[in-house]
Amino acid sequence: MQPRDLEHHKGLPRASVLVPLFRKTDDNNKLHVLLTQRPLHLKSHPGEVCFPGGRQDPEDEADDVETALREAWEEVGLERTSIESICRLTTVESKGGLCVTPIVALLDPPDVINQLKVSKDEVEAVFTVPIEFFLERNGNLADKFDVPWSSGIFTLRTYFYQDEREKEFKIWGLTAHVIHQVACLAIDGSLDGIAKDAAPLVEKSVRMEGSLWLWQGKYWSKQYCVLTKGMLHQYSSKEQADRKSATAVKKNRLPLSDVKITKLENEEEHKFGFNISVLDRRIEWRVAAESDKLRDRWMNALHF
């Protein structure tokens, strides 16, 4: 399998993920994908859903497939003799600045998923999802919007999946992006459904904008906020934002390096709050959106 590195990913530290597919005999032989959830105690992406995978080690000898196979063994005990590598997808840049290569594979025999040896240090839970769940025509997409990323536009998708034990998992970001690609390839058999994701597009200057409530110490004030180029700006109106572009005064903008986002309990009707803090909480904004969905969209965009 030849590398499919995008030009602007060259020079980034490398990582690989394994996308393990299998046919589930007790679900009409439908194609499923195996996913994991990271433990909450980890410093990096705690609690997030992902594929088995990780950074490339020197022992992998610069082989992306080897990285994916090694990580799958270390995290969930998948034997490489049960993994048939099918294809390599185009690289994706993670929010941590890694060049990630997705390796799509078929598990054979399928019942190896019943014999996993999960590393509790790296994996909180393992679950499987029918691959067709991620096709947009099936109506399971909870949210979708475009964000500028690297040298193009990244479509940020969010899904919520409830397993047979009624535990709900949030699947979003890079993982959702990759599994949507795989679903289109596996079921539709073409790249038509992922052309927008795969092609580098012209970068936009604005990642997200809209109205938010900002806490002013004694009262809420409705402001028009613009998230762009690592900075969150606040204006009195959209017209002011358009007129002044990115020239908000220092006190009305928040740099987003080392940002921490905390969801708040609803304190007032129609206000869905969260805190944004930087520099170990030396600078903090308390804000609220007008719906829980809008709050989640802002929090996702700020985290990304």
Which residue has 């690592």 as its token pair? 230
Query: How far is C-alpha 254 from the geometric centre of its chain's CA atoms?
Result: 23
Beta bridge partners of 18: 103
- Alpha-carbon distance of 158 to 175, in angstroms, equals 10
- Alpha-carbon distance of 19 to 102, in angstroms, equals 7
Query: Looking at residue 245, what is its pLDDT?
Result: 54
Contacts of 84 (CB under 8 A, 6+ apart): 105, 106, 107, 108
Q: Is 302 helix (H, G, I), strand (E, B) or coil?
A: helix
- Alpha-carbon distance of 85 to 21, in angstroms, equals 10
- Alpha-carbon distance of 60 to 69, in angstroms, equals 10
**Mean pLDDT for back-to-back runs of 10 residues, the chain (304 residues):** 69 93 88 94 84 94 92 94 88 89 91 92 94 92 86 87 93 95 77 34 53 91 85 87 64 78 78 86 88 84 70
- Alpha-carbon distance of 143 to 296, in angstroms, equals 9
Query: Looking at residue 195, what is its pLDDT?
Result: 34
Query: Looking at residue 11, what is its pLDDT?
Result: 82
Question: What is the value of pTM for the model shown?
Answer: 0.68
Query: Looking at residue 303, what is its pLDDT?
Result: 67
* C-beta separation of 182 from 34 below 8 A: no
Domains of the chain: 7-198 (3.90.79.10), 208-303 (2.30.29.30)
Tally of CA atoms within 13 A in the half-sphere of 300 that contains its CB: 25
Helix (H) or strand (E) holding 230: none
- What's the token pair of residue 64? 């992306």
Query: Looking at residue 208, what is its pLDDT?
Result: 79
Number of Cβ atoms within 10 Å of the Cβ of 265: 6
Contacts of 94 (CB under 8 A, 6+ apart): 15, 100, 174
- Alpha-carbon distance of 257 to 301, in angstroms, equals 13
Query: Looking at residue 201, what is its pLDDT?
Result: 23
- Alpha-carbon distance of 74 to 244, in angstroms, equals 52
Query: Looking at residue 194, what is its pLDDT?
Result: 34
